[in-house]
Amino acid sequence: MQGLYKGIQKFQKIYFDKERESFARLSRGQSPDVLFFSCLDSRVNPNLLTQSELGELLIVRNVGNIIPPYISSSSHKICTAAAIEFALLILKVRYIIVCGHSDCGSLKALYYDEKEFADMPNLKEWLDIISHVKGRVVRKGNAATSEKRKEMTEKEHIIVQLENLLTYPLVERAIREKRVKLQGWYYEIGTGEVYAYNWSKKMFEKINGSRNKEKELAGPYLREPCLCPL
């Protein structure tokens, strides 16, 4: 903890003093452009990854960056739905990004035996939301090794969360009206590379700045209406 206390002092004496005008502006409100769904993994830092400033990303973090599907009777969606309402209706964000990552412990846990969850009933219930990701990976095949299966699971999981986002009426309407764009990202911790899902090619491509075509990365939902359950 002493390291954290010293970190606060360093922040106040060095960073805060240097950025005093920025913090004065931020103290009056925020206007982020992006709603960013991320895992709570300690190795994933959205602001560091994107080199964005304070106030630019509205970040939602949970175990496994899971977006529960919109089911009126489910309590699992409340936090996500509240964040979406706040982001789209109050802050008027223009982008929603779902960012998964390599070596995700939550997705490793999908392959645990039932007995391994004996003392983790809440984690088990939470991961049950995405249990069908395993079946999708199996149907796609090509998982010759455990490492390949792990990567396939991590990437398929991102696609599933984008699909779940589209079950939220507010999101579907915003996309249909071209007020919001979606992207799915995969962050490779060991290399620092970030890959975005290309909806046209149905594959993840490395983000190379201006060379990426935003229209392809933002998905087919911008070109035609997506009819989702209300």
Mean of the per-residue pLDDT values for the chain? 90
| Residue 223 predicted with pLDDT over 80 | no
Please count the structural domains in the chain. 1
Taking residues 148-155, report their average pLDDT: 95
Domain assignment present for 126? yes
d(CA 199, CA 221): 9
Q: Is the pLDDT of residue 147 over 50?
A: yes
- Answer yes or no: is pLDDT of 4 > 80: yes
What pLDDT does 75 receive?
86
pLDDT score of 145: 86
Residue 4 lies in a domain: no
**Residue 141 sits in a domain of what CATH number?**
3.40.1050.10
Residue 18 included in any domain: no
The residues near 119 (Cβ < 8 Å, ≥ 6 apart) are none
* pLDDT tens per residue across span 131-141: 999 999 988 87
Is the model more confident about 220 or about 126? 126
**Residue 57 pLDDT:** 98
Q: Span 80-103, mean pLDDT? A: 98
- Does pTM surpass 0.85? yes
Which of 64, 70, 100 has its CA nearest to residue 84? 70
Q: Which two tokens stand for residue 60?
A: 């939602």
Q: Can you tell me the mean pLDDT for 32-40? A: 98
Cβ neighbours for 103, distance < 8 A, ≥ 6 positions apart = 150, 189, 190
* Residue 174 lies in domain: 32-222
Q: What is the mean pLDDT of residues 48-63?
A: 97
